[in-house]
Amino acid sequence: MINHYPHRPGVLCLSGHDPSGGAGIQADIETLAALNCHALPVITALTCQDTHNVAAVLPQDPAWVARCVALLQADQPIATIKLGMLGSAAMALQVAEIAQGINAPLIIDPVLRAGGGTPLADSELLSVLREQLLPRATLITPNLPEAQKLAGLDEQASVQACAEQLLKLTPAVLITGAHDDTVNVTNRLFTRHDGNHSWDCARLPGSYHGSGCTLAASVAGLIAQGISLPSACQQALDYTWQCLLNADQPGSGQWLPRRI
Ligand code: PLP
């Protein structure tokens, strides 16, 4: 006899592929599986990279991505949408159009730079993010350098100054603090409607690849389960911290979060 379990919430992931297995769409799939969600992975860009850095990016065809999403949308419910690396301004424009056509919370990891330093978004892509995607978002999850860039501020700008600017563009921003050099990492959520929140965690010693992807995917999965935005952020930060605590170093570069 076949058991028909209630289906897991579907999370549409529009992200890049990282063949080292640390970041991108693999991070999304692993995270969502661990949180009892079903990833719908649509790849926006291929990358050539190892655990040190990204060597090359091959953006995918925006029309192909639109075609994939249209089929999925007609076939099954989409509980939330999670965006990662988009790869080109043309793809970002296509993704903005796709997001307008789906009535689901939108979680954006604004991927601007690889951990190894390679830029992953040009100024045109940054403009589309700011003008077309941030206004449609439910939450964006930048680290401080990404928040400064998105807010159009310099590298000295404080977390508060970034949040103030970003809340003019988007309803909620979770700014992660791993790039500071403080003893503890402070992660701060600023929102228009759900108050402001701050969570501290112990700083872990490694340099990790795919931590931002893990965080954004876990928030998307928890929101798909019906959890409120502040609780989803808190639980996603806890889950991500555990994945980093259990990380391993399969190559000679950054450590990879263990998500399952
Ligand atoms: N997505 C892809 C495909 C990437 O290659 C990268 C970084 O190299 C990221 C996302 C962002 O990774 P992280 O979570 O380490 O910021």
Cβ of 209 closer than 6 Å to ligand 1, yes or no, is: yes
Per-residue pLDDT of the chain (260 residues; tens, 9 = 90+): 566 667 899 999 999 999 999 999 999 999 999 999 999 999 999 999 999 999 999 999 999 999 999 999 999 999 999 999 999 999 999 999 999 999 999 999 999 999 999 999 999 999 999 999 999 999 999 999 999 999 999 999 999 999 999 999 999 999 999 988 888 999 999 999 999 999 999 999 989 999 999 999 999 999 999 999 999 999 999 999 999 999 999 999 999 999 99
Q: Which domains occur in the chain, in start order?
A: 11-47+54-245 (3.40.1190.20)
227 residue type, one letter? I
Among the listed residues 217, 149, 156, 209, the one whose alpha carbon sits nearest the alpha carbon of residue 18: 209
Cβ of 213 closer than 6 Å to ligand 1, yes or no, is: yes
3-state secondary structure of 103: coil
Q: What are phi and psi of 9, to 5 degrees?
A: -60, 135
Distance in Å, CA 6 to ligand 1 centroid? 32
Cβ of 84 closer than 6 Å to ligand 1, yes or no, is: yes
Distance in Å, CA 3 to ligand 1 centroid? 38
State the Cα angle at 88 between 101 and 171, rounded to 5°. Answer: 50
Cβ of 259 closer than 6 Å to ligand 1, yes or no, is: no
ipTM confidence score = 0.92
Among the listed residues 173, 141, 171, the one whose alpha carbon sits nearest the alpha carbon of residue 160: 173
Which residue do the tokens 């952020």 mark? Answer: 233
3-state secondary structure of 16: strand
Distance in Å, CA 4 to ligand 1 centroid? 36
